[in-house]
Every structure is written in structure tokens, then in C-alpha cells.
């Protein structure tokens, strides 16, 4: 088989990745704590989201192949929690809403993909889809525990961000608009779900269109 076949990360690769991401999270956290200082590189929400975006991209590069699927989910949970907690700590302004809308839409897609591990014909083929001898990869969706943690995290974050938007008279229902993909995946996996279908999935109430 070709050496370009997808593979799970080795233990050494996982250790290096975690070490790197820990350092990046720490650097962003330090900048966030100094956000009120004039020389802070993360003085605005726009700057904060720009600094955080590469971390989400890196986490999504982790192959959705066991055992790396668990690490992928855990890191995205950490990322989601830290960034959503930080958003309402910045002043709410209409100028940042397009950037925020775009970022939230990307986060929703990431949550959807990681929650179901996004298996494809390479990672989880049926026996008739591949030649004899081809390795069949396992790609496990998130567990009930992980989906419950994510649901709780999103619920509390949505409440805080909706209150934050109310300060500029810009209300929206984040559960319906920005996290509908993630809720659609994790809702049926959890014992109690607040998810409900979005009434208008193509139009963000922040004034920016989002994809279905």
C-alpha cells in the first residue's frame, strides 16, 4: 500500500502535539489576561479570534483514526471551552460580528466533524469497497460522556454569549443558528438534549449568512 495512507498519530507525535498546543494555549491565555493593556496583542476580540484560529485548524488535522480520534475530541473540547468563555469578556461591538459569525460557523463544522469522527471510504470502508488485504481503519464517534460534556459546554456558552449580544441589542439563538450541526449530532447521543431544528438555517441573526 502507499506510504501516503492515513495513519493514527504515534505516542511520540501525540506527546509533541500536546506539548506544542499547551504552549500555544498558555501564550494566548497570557495575552487574553492582558487584553486591557494598550500594548496587548489580543486587545480586541478580532485579534483574539485570529490568534486562536490556527489552533482549531491544527486540531482538525489530527487523523480521525483510532486511537487518535479520542485526542482529537478532547483537544477540540478544550479549545471550544476556552474560546467561548473568552468571547463575552471583550466589549460587544457590531464591527466584530461578521468575524465572530464566520468563526462560530467554522467551530460548528468542527464540532460536527469531530463528534461523528467523519468517517469516509478511506477510514471505514465496507468490505466490498476495497481490494483484499487493504487495512480497514476504525474511526470511533465521541462517547456519551464526551457528547454530554460538549452539550453542557455549548449550552452555558450560548447563554452567556446571548446575554453579551443583548448589550448591543443584537439578540440571536445560538442553539438554532450557530451550533445546529453539532447539536444535530450530539443531541440524540445524550440523555437530555435542548437541541431543536433551526427555523432558518441559512441566515444568521448577526446579519451574516451561514451555510446549511
Higher pLDDT, 212 or 84: 84
Residue 5, pLDDT above cutoff 80 = no
Most confident of 21-35, 65-79, 191-205: 21-35
Residue 208 domain-assigned (yes or no): no
Q: In this predicted structure, what is the pLDDT of residue 20?
A: 97
Banded model confidence at residue 152, pLDDT cuts 50, 70, 90: confident
Can you spell out the DSSP letters for the chain?
--TTS--PPPHHHHHHHHHHHHHHHHHHHHHHHTTTSTT-TT-SHHHHHHHHHHHHHHHHTS-SSTTHHHHHHHHHHHHHHHHHHHGGGSPP-GGGHHHHHHHHHHHHHHHHHHHH----TTTS--GGGS-TT------PPPPHHHHHHHHHHHHHHHHHHHHHHHTTT----HHHHTSHHHHHHHGGGSSS------S-TTB-TTS-B---
Q: What is the mean pLDDT of residues 40-59?
A: 95
Residue 169 domain-assigned (yes or no): yes
Task: Please report, rounded to a whole number, the percentage of residues in the chain having pLDDT higher than 90.
Answer: 37
Q: What domain count does the chain have?
A: 1
Residue 103 domain-assigned (yes or no): yes
Residue 82, pLDDT above cutoff 80 = yes
Q: What range defines the domain where residue 150 resides?
A: 11-189
- Lowest average pLDDT, out of 23-32, 155-164, 193-202, goes to 193-202
Residue 81 domain-assigned (yes or no): yes
Banded model confidence at residue 136, pLDDT cuts 50, 70, 90: low
Supply the pTM of this predicted model.
0.77
Amino acid at each position: 500500500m502507499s506510504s501516503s495512507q492515513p495513519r493514527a498519530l504515534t505516542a511520540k507525535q501525540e506527546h509533541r502535539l500536546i506539548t506544542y498546543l499547551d504552549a500555544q494555549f498558555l501564550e494566548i491565555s497570557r495575552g487574553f489576561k492582558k487584553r486591557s493593556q494598550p500594548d496587548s496583542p489580543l486587545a480586541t476580540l478580532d485579534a483574539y479570534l485570529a490568534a486562536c484560529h490556527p489552533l482549531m485548524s491544527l486540531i482538525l488535522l489530527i487523523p480521525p483514526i483510532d486511537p487518535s480520534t479520542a485526542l482529537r475530541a478532547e483537544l477540540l473540547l478544550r479549545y471550544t471551552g476556552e474560546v467561548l468563555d473568552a468571547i463575552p469578556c471583550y466589549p460587544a461591538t457590531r464591527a466584530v460580528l461578521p468575524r465572530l459569525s464566520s468563526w462560530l460557523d467554522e467551530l460548528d463544522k468542527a464540532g460536527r466533524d469531530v463528534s461523528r469522527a467523519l468517517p469516509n471510504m478511506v477510514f471505514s470502508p465496507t468490505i466490498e469497497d476495497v481490494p483484499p488485504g487493504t487495512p480497514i481503519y476504525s474511526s470511533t464517534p465521541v462517547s456519551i460522556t464526551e457528547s454530554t460534556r460538549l452539550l453542557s459546554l455549548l449550552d452555558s456558552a450560548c447563554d452567556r454569549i446571548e446575554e453579551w449580544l443583548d448589550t448591543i441589542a443584537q439578540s440571536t439563538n445560538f442553539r438554532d443558528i450557530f451550533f445546529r450541526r453539532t447539536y444535530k449530532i450530539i443531541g440524540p447521543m445524550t440523555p437530555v438534549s435542548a437541541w431543536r431544528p433551526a427555523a432558518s438555517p441559512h441566515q444568521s441573526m448577526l446579519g451574516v449568512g451561514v451555510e446549511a
